[in-house]
Structure 1
Amino acid sequence: MAVFSFALLSLLVALEASASVTVRKTGRGPTGYEVEFRYANPTAKRVLIGGGMQPFTDQFHATGTDYRFNGRYDPHDYQPGDFYISNPSPRLPAEPEYKWPYEMTQSRNEEGLWTYTTPLPSGIYSFAYLVNCNYAPNCTIDTGHLVLDPDLPPFMNVRGDQVASSFQVPFDARFQASPELNTNFDYALDAPDPKRHRGVVKTVNYTSPGSIHPAPDVHDFAIYLPAEYGRVPGKKDYPLLYLSHGAGGNGADWENLGRMSHVMDNLIRLKHIPPTVVVTPSFYNLDPQGPLFIYGNQSNNLNVPIPPAQAVRKNFEQFLFPWVEEHYDVCRNASCRAFAGLSMGGVLTHEMFVNATDMFDYYGMFSPATSGPYIDAAAVAANPSLKEKGIMVAYGLYDFVFPAARNLQTALDAVGIRYITRVTPFGSHYWNTWQDELWWFGQKVLWKELPFTVQTGRGKRC
């Protein structure tokens, strides 16, 4: 039995709590893997697992909008082709009518120890412990009911910037393969040979006049540096990808919730792309007028508007982009620079494409929550280089932005702009979808020959 241990038991003194998450290869159904959660808290009366652990569904029952008629499954009932879908609908009733599937039980042998073991298929899972809370959507950090795993802390810049930890489960073709869907996410596992294939990712604070977090006139981003960075004498022009989060997120999301560095390690290791630097910026808290957005402050975040994409673009052009070029050995021309983002980050990518066209040659609009106005013939006539870029429009088959993404494609088609499309067959508006889209963006779009043709993305003919 192979064991992947993501945390060692230790004491979180302030809460008198300790925790561990262990992923085991079982060699038996339903998925070939099981995950054991252990959480020690002698004061807890009830513990749920939430923070991103969603019920499963399948490709025929993926509406997720009404608990009475949808196909939500307990993970113990998993069958090949099932996948988990994010839709915490406010129409769900309060418990006990709607039972949360991830509920821990108190050990009979060890006082104060809570455990839960479940089979899980391939993919990334984010989670937190929901303590003494009867309805998962109401459990938050600011109410004291949401507790982060003390031994598997999230990747973040400062405390409060993330509200969940994450782990990755491998794929077992014997139990998980499905003729309808390919839900193998092993490209987000650790790359072999750490010295040769694993880059580093860290958070960085940079000077940004007017920004209000994490300090006055200071903003932050996360950066991935490929394994060879700093080891090749004289190399100064690494390709550069900017990768944006979505509404209600921050620059640590792509690493903490999407394991971006693992995806990039494997894209580079398998020679889909050359070693590439990735910057994941934050688009909140750039305006000195506020209000302040902090991930863990759920009650305050309800009143924080999404910053206009145009304002974010201007700020990044003035402060972020020059700072990165000054401090890192990255490319300084459009041919080896790209911008991509998910959801509202896809809207920001569209803004960059239309109004910062000469800065990047490649654009990835993942689950873009665009609503127009879209590009038109007049814009192309004024800026012909719009037709010379490498574009990917990607979204999930069960993604709520499906109509918006289709409208964006229609607008691009109308003015003759070629692009690559990826419709993730199991995809909802969630991180496994965006992992999939980043993986295919790297394989089919990044740094490929321009302009795109009908052959682009198909690879070489045999």
Structure 2
Amino acid sequence: MAARLLKALVGLLMTVESSASVTIRKTGRGPTGYEVDFRYVNTTAKRVLIGGGIQPFTDQFHTTGTEYRFNGRYDPHDYQPGDFYVSNPSPQLPAEPAYKWPYEMKRSDDEDGLWTYTAPLPSGIYSFAYLVNCNYAPNCSIDTGHLVIDPDLPPFMNVPGDQVASSFQVPFDAEFQASSELNTNFDYALDAPDPERHRGEVKIVNYTSPGSIHPAPDVHDFAIYLPADYRRPRCKKREYPLLYLSHGAGGNGADWENLGRMSHIMDNLIRLGHIPPTVVVTPSFYNLDASLQDGRRFIYGNKSHSVPVPAAQRVRENFEKHLFPWVEEHYDVCRNASCRAFAGLSMGGLLTYEMFVNATDYFDYYGMFSPATLGPFIDAAAVAAKPSLKEKGIMVAYGLYDFVFPMARNLQTALDAVGIRYITRVTPFGSHYWNTWQDELWWFGRKVLWKELPFTVRTGRQNRS
């Protein structure tokens, strides 16, 4: 059903006389060794911008703290090794004359309706949409016709409108991008070689969830990654380790694949032997129950601002009642805590903390990525009442330029106070954005998933490469 809906969406876009393409070229020259060509055809457009997750760049010597006070905001044409992109550039600072974002496409003089833009982008994940005849990005929407999804690179989603950005990944070129100050190589999110042996399958699944209001009454959805090994014939049934991976506020279950290339990261973690073949479920925590959000339908990135985030406790209770049993019934996944994990970003990090405290015995591993945790946190009395809290594998991860930096530190202080061990990842180029969460998922697999418990001061030191 999802594939048919995507084709219908592409067909709709094509009827408004638009077509597009994104080409990633290895150039063998600076500044990055790669160039990305955007081509968009629209015969009626007067102006076209490239909006979304192609952020301005900065560097660690011109960026301070976690308040987005970026003294350096650079166009990709001014890239230097060690530069990285960050979300939400500070509006308090005047823009440098060379800084122009969103990036403006140029109309061709030779071909009718052709708009082009070329950028020398470095390694990383980039999401985007075309903003047509719209001078202020927050006012651009699909409903008004100002926001146009690339018809040849549609997003991974369940229902048209649930995602409003396409994405692509640029490789790393050591000759032009290597830096002695900072490693910004994101090649672990590229396609794994040998599709038959190393590439898993990712798809949208609709499941029965009484009370859900989207995508249909009493039906909810998640995306699932099945490793390449899952489809191979075997003599006896195998139960695969299972990771639940949550989106954040303003997102849905397709985010991790569409914007974070989760399946590629998992393929490479498995291919390189960091983890055994693992199933990943990325659920949606909106629309579970009309009472959680006053009956309003949530649409990612388009009409989300008025929709409240459901309470983590309510989401946990719903998942325990409907999602977890359904997944176990329909997939060959493990049935005990030792091979189950829960992780999430931002508000999904808060949901992970909720799972850790109140679904403690269901999972043995927890990844709190950029966790939006405000407290109150567990205390000594809570740990005394539930000693298993000290026997779990935990990662607390956040970006050096992440606005949740103080929240994550407060969480770590609380864990320290009750003697709970955990692994930390402070992403050195990280803001509250997808390059940070890709990095954190990679290191969660490298250092935490399915490692021996309880954690000690030596946990994670066996992987030094």
Deviations 1:300-357 (A, max 9, x none): 4222111000000000000000000000000010000000000000000000000000
Task: Say if 2:263 is the partner of 1:256.
Answer: no
Task: Say if 2:147 is the partner of 1:146.
Answer: yes
Task: Say if 2:267 is the partner of 1:265.
Answer: yes
TM-superposed deviation, 1:36: 0.1
Aligned match of 1:342: 345
Q: Is the 8 A contact 1:103 1:116 kept in 2?
A: yes
Match of 2:243 among 241, 244, 247: 241
Q: Size of the alignment, in residue pairs?
A: 453
Aligned match of 1:163: 164
Aligned match of 1:184: 185
Match of 2:379 among 376, 381, 403: 376
Q: Is the 8 A contact 1:196 1:227 kept in 2?
A: yes
Aligned match of 1:440: 443
5+ residue gaps in structure 1?
Answer: 1-8
From the superposition, tell whether residues 440 and 68 of structure 1 become closer, same or farther in structure 2 (CA, over 3 Å): closer
Secondary structure, in 3 states, of the residue corresponding to 1:459? coil
Secondary structure, in 3 states, of the residue corresponding to 1:167? strand
Aligned match of 1:6: none
TM-superposed deviation, 1:12: 4.2
Deviations 1:398-431 (A, max 9, x none): 0000000000000000000000000000000000
Return the alpha-carbon distance in structure 2 between the equivalents of residues 191 and 241 of structure 1.
Answer: 20
Aligned match of 1:5: none
Deviations 1:115-143 (A, max 9, x none): 00010000000000000011223322233
Return the alpha-carbon distance in structure 2 between the equivalents of residues 351 and 110 of structure 1.
Answer: 56
Match of 1:451 among 430, 451, 454: 454
Q: Could you tell me which amino acid in structure 2 is paired with residue 427 of structure 1?
A: G
Q: Could you tell me which amino acid in structure 1 is paired with residue 326 of structure 2?
A: W
Deviations 1:268-315 (A, max 9, x none): 0000000000000000011223332433573x4222111000000000
* TM-score normalized with structure 2 length: 0.93
> What does 1:10-409 correspond to in 2, within 5 Å?
12-63=13-64, 70-87=71-88, 99-233=100-234, 234-289=236-291, 290-296=294-300, 298=302, 300-409=303-412
The worse-fitting range, judged by mean Cα deviation, of 65-74 and 142-151 is 65-74
Return the alpha-carbon distance in structure 2 between the equivalents of residues 144 and 217 of structure 1.
Answer: 31
Secondary structure, in 3 states, of the residue corresponding to 2:280? strand
Deviations 1:229-268 (A, max 9, x none): 0314223310000000000000000000000000000000
Return the alpha-carbon distance in structure 2 between the equivalents of residues 16 and 211 of structure 1.
Answer: 37
Return the alpha-carbon distance in structure 2 between the equivalents of residues 174 and 361 of structure 1.
Answer: 42
Q: Could you tell me which amino acid in structure 2 is paired with residue 294 of structure 1?
A: F
From the superposition, tell whether residues 215 and 192 of structure 1 become closer, same or farther in structure 2 (CA, over 3 Å): same
Identity %: 84
* TM-score normalized with structure 1 length: 0.94
Return the alpha-carbon distance in structure 1 between the equivalents of residues 280 and 68 of structure 2.
Answer: 39
Deviations 1:75-118 (A, max 9, x none): 10000111110015566899x99842511000111010000001
Task: Say if 2:426 is the partner of 1:423.
Answer: yes
5+ residue gaps in structure 2?
Answer: 1-9
Q: Could you tell me which amino acid in structure 2 is paired with residue 444 of structure 1?
A: K
From the superposition, tell whether residues 191 and 72 of structure 1 become closer, same or farther in structure 2 (CA, over 3 Å): same
Return the alpha-carbon distance in structure 1 between the equivalents of residues 171 and 307 of structure 2.
Answer: 37
Return the alpha-carbon distance in structure 1 between the equivalents of residues 14 and 426 of structure 2.
Answer: 46
Q: Could you tell me which amino acid in structure 2 is paired with residue 271 of structure 1?
A: G
> Which contiguous aligned blocks of 4+ residues in structure 1 show a shift greater than 4 angstroms?
9-12, 63-69, 88-94
Deviations 1:410-459 (A, max 9, x none): 00000000000000000000001000000000010000000000100111
Return the alpha-carbon distance in structure 2 between the equivalents of residues 13 and 123 of structure 1.
Answer: 29
